[in-house]
Amino acid sequence: MATDQGPVVDSALLRSELVRLRKEKGLTQEQVARTLEWSPSKLIRVEGGKSSITRTDLQALLRMYDVTSESRQERLQTLARGARETPWWNRYRGLVNDDLLSLTGYTAGASVIRQFHGTLVPGLLQIREYAQVLVSDLSDPTAAAMSIELRLDRQRRLLERAKPPRQYYLLDEAVIRRHVGVGEDPGIMPMQLRHIVDRVESEDELTVRVIPFTAGYHQGVYGPFVLLEFEGELSDVLHLEGRPGTAATITGDSPQIAEYRDTFERMLEGALSADETVELIRQVADELER
């Protein structure tokens, strides 16, 4: 049975462990390939995530790396099975920008999600009506509809995981005061705000905090970002949001990841507490309804 982390994270966890096992044995890719009578490019593709690995080939590697524990072998085989599965988000490919699908793959298996946004409600908190306003300028109605469905699908699947991720959302006050949808239906934004409050109060894994205008300048003015953490030996992932084609997903040991993690924590210092945030969101929802 595969994990519920999704094939992107399963593949990354498997590759990370295989590389670590090889290096612990002091072996190069060429030495391993020569011993197993593989072409060097085969192992390079496996370790680089360009090619899946069969059960037989994985067993061969584990024997070479002296992995004898049955439980450890089965865990790695489970990751390999998960990595070979077709991503559920493939149905959106070609209709939704690749930046978002890349983020979706990592988010699907994250254990902790931290996100800052300074202008809009993050996609994982949006209601359908709010999302419809945001995609109303897309010329392709099918692409617009699929973009909305992907946002809602991502939310549902995270909640369905055996162990849902911890989610921390840090928002500028502008996010909750911008009356999105006022031209179509003035009730959309109050409904969106009450939805956020309902989720915060019903989901132990979800925290939302607002940076008030009175806090003045903060580093979030440079743009929205997402930080993802994972269980196991997998480095954090940083996603810098932007217009389609300009976003960036950063993995590995990039110093930017640590910088943004520190930035997020420092921005929290100027934010309202979780309880104060809920009170403010309710207050703004009431104001927008009047």
Reported as a single tens digit per residue, the pLDDT across 49-75 is 899 999 999 999 999 999 999 999 999
Contact 5, 111 (CB under 8 A): no
Residue 99 phi, psi (nearest 5): -60, -45
Coil/strand/helix, residue 96: strand
Same-domain check for residues 25 and 80: yes
Q: What integer pLDDT is reported at residue 56 of this predicted model?
A: 96
Q: How confident is the model at residue 253 (pLDDT cuts 50, 70, 90)?
A: confident
Q: Do 232 and 252 belong to one domain?
A: yes
Q: How many domains does the chain have?
A: 2
Work out the angle between the directed axes of helices 7-24 and 98-107 (0-180°, nearest 10).
Answer: 70
* CA atoms of 252 and 236, how far apart (whole Å): 7
pTM, 2 dp: 0.92
> 63 and 116: one domain?
no
Whether residues 78 and 105 share a domain: the answer is no
35 and 114, same domain (yes or no): no
- Is 178 found in the same domain as 109? yes
Is-contact 157 94, C-beta < 8 A? no
Residues 58 and 134 both lie in one domain:
no
Of 132-141, 157-166, 238-247, least confident by mean pLDDT is: 238-247
